[in-house]
Amino acid sequence: MIARRQFLSTAALGAGAFFVAPGIALATAATDRRFVFIIQRGAADGLDILRPTGDPAFAGLRAALIGETAGARLDPMFTLHPALSEVARMYGQGQALFVHAVASPYRDRSHFDGQNVLETGGVQPYEVRDGWLNRLVGMLPRASDEAIAIAATVPTALRGPVQVASFAPSALPHATDDLMSRVTALYGADPQLHPVWAAALETRGLAAEASAGQDPASLGRLTAGFLTKPNGPRIAMLETLGWDTHNAQKGRLANQLKNLDAMLAALRDGLGPVWANTTVLVATEFGRTAAVNGTGGTDHGTGSVAMLIGGAVKGGRVISDWPGLASGNLYQARDLRPTTALDSLIAGTVAESFALEPARVGRGLFAHATADRPMSGLVRA
């Protein structure tokens, strides 16, 4: 059953349904800073995204996945996948930073459980009910008393006590002005429905000038359109699917990364001068195996790579306590061993993005023991 509040918000928005792979969730906050969280659902292969070409064991493990195009060499150890050409350009401009051999506290290999731990900030799956992004919104001075979600369902990371009003674009034709006026008059004197309808109309107004295309670049522009509105949101979440590359990874991952690259470039271009105050975090629930399997893919693993991108990022570097890929260094003899806590990265990033006290943010957002020691030096003041 659809809640009345959700139905009204949806009804006000009209046409322009998103495709299934990505969704967007937005939250208002009284700040000039912008923060965007992009989750890569399906376990993105960090060893292919940011290749440790300086590790002597890498070529033997990954020769089947390395194409003829080398990609951008970031430092003596790491080479960026060639599909991320715009990200490489941003790296060269000091606007992209990578953290390798990173993982949440989760150490099994279930997508659903891993995503739940990542989004809730817990240590075990389903031990925490709300999401760390919702808790972050609760720490900020808010421009209004509720957050805004744009997705078929609100992502777990944004669920919690801070109220979220759904924005779910419909495939139906846009409602006529006459119909909108009649419904507005109908609900005008209703103490329950009038504020809900007014909120839906406000959300509709924010989306009116934004592109509703279904390709990744359009979604980047759409997100930028919301984030640049004077009365719009300052926090956004995007979901991307398709990172579970058990077979034919070479072509499939290249296509995924090309789409991500286009989304990030469109977000940057759409934000314009606001990009200077923006931080984008890209992270996945876990990584993939060090060795290639028999079908040209990789299976569920542990350590991966996270990205920080944006004009506010102190970029142009890779942060990694690199564990090595020799057989004796792998986690459970198969995976990249995590040496950096994803919780610590997230807590440090959002604390510096919004000028919050880092230890308080770590304790408030995450249950893991390392969360009270957030990373620092990630975002410009």
Reported as a pLDDT band with limits 50, 70 and 90, residue 293 is very high
**Residue (of 381, 349, 375) closest to 37 by Cα position:** 349
Using an 8 Å Cβ cutoff, are 57 and 323 in contact? no
Reported as a pLDDT band with limits 50, 70 and 90, residue 206 is low
Model confidence at 178: pLDDT above 50: yes
Q: What is the pLDDT of residue 13?
A: 42
**Residue (of 207, 144, 301) closest to 16 by Cα position:** 207
Q: What is the pLDDT of residue 181?
A: 74
Model confidence at 1: pLDDT above 60: no
Q: What is the pLDDT of residues 106-163, one digit of tens each?
A: 999 999 999 999 999 999 999 999 999 999 989 988 765 455 555 667 899 999 988 7
> How many H helices and E strands in the chain?
12, 13
Reported as a pLDDT band with limits 50, 70 and 90, residue 8 is very low
Using an 8 Å Cβ cutoff, are 331 and 302 in contact? yes
Model confidence at 19: pLDDT above 50: no
Q: What is the pTM of this model?
A: 0.87
Reported as a pLDDT band with limits 50, 70 and 90, residue 17 is very low
Which of these ranges, 40-49, 155-164, 261-270, 272-281, has the smallest mean pLDDT? 155-164
Q: What is the pLDDT of residue 25?
A: 74
Compute and round to an integer the Cα radius of gyration of the chain.
Answer: 21
Model confidence at 5: pLDDT above 80: no
Q: What is the pLDDT of residue 20?
A: 32
Q: What is the pLDDT of residue 287?
A: 98
Q: What is the pLDDT of residue 222?
A: 84
Q: What is the pLDDT of residue 69?
A: 78
Higher pLDDT, 324 or 208: 324
Which of these ranges, 35-49, 163-177, 229-243, 311-325, has the smallest mean pLDDT? 163-177
| Whole-Å CA distances, 319 to 75, 344, 377 | 11, 13, 11
CB atoms within 10 A of CB 67: 12
Reported as a pLDDT band with limits 50, 70 and 90, residue 317 is very high
Q: What is the pLDDT of residue 176?
A: 66
Using an 8 Å Cβ cutoff, are 141 and 28 in contact? no
- Taking residues 9-37, report their average pLDDT: 62
Residue 47, Cα to own-chain centre: how many angstroms? 19
Model confidence at 53: pLDDT above 80: yes
Q: What is the pLDDT of residues 353-365, one digit of tens each?
A: 999 999 999 999 9
Using an 8 Å Cβ cutoff, are 103 and 332 in contact? no
Model confidence at 288: pLDDT above 60: yes
- Who contacts 340 (Cβ-Cβ below 8 Å, separation ≥6)? 99, 100, 101, 102, 103, 319, 320, 321, 375
Q: What is the pLDDT of residues 59-91, one digit of tens each?
A: 999 999 987 778 999 999 999 999 999 999 999
Give the tokens for residue 359: 């230890």
Q: How far apart are CA 184 and CA 180, in angstroms?
A: 6
Higher pLDDT, 221 or 73: 73
As beta bridge partners, residue 236 has 26, 36
Domains (range + CATH), the chain: 4-372 (3.40.720)
Q: What is the pLDDT of residues 245-270, one digit of tens each?
A: 999 999 999 999 999 999 999 999 99
Model confidence at 28: pLDDT above 60: yes
Reported as a pLDDT band with limits 50, 70 and 90, residue 213 is low
CB atoms within 10 A of CB 170: 15
Q: What is the pLDDT of residue 4?
A: 36
Q: What is the pLDDT of residue 183?
A: 78
Q: What is the pLDDT of residue 354?
A: 94
Angle between helices 342-353 and 358-365 (to 10 degrees): 130
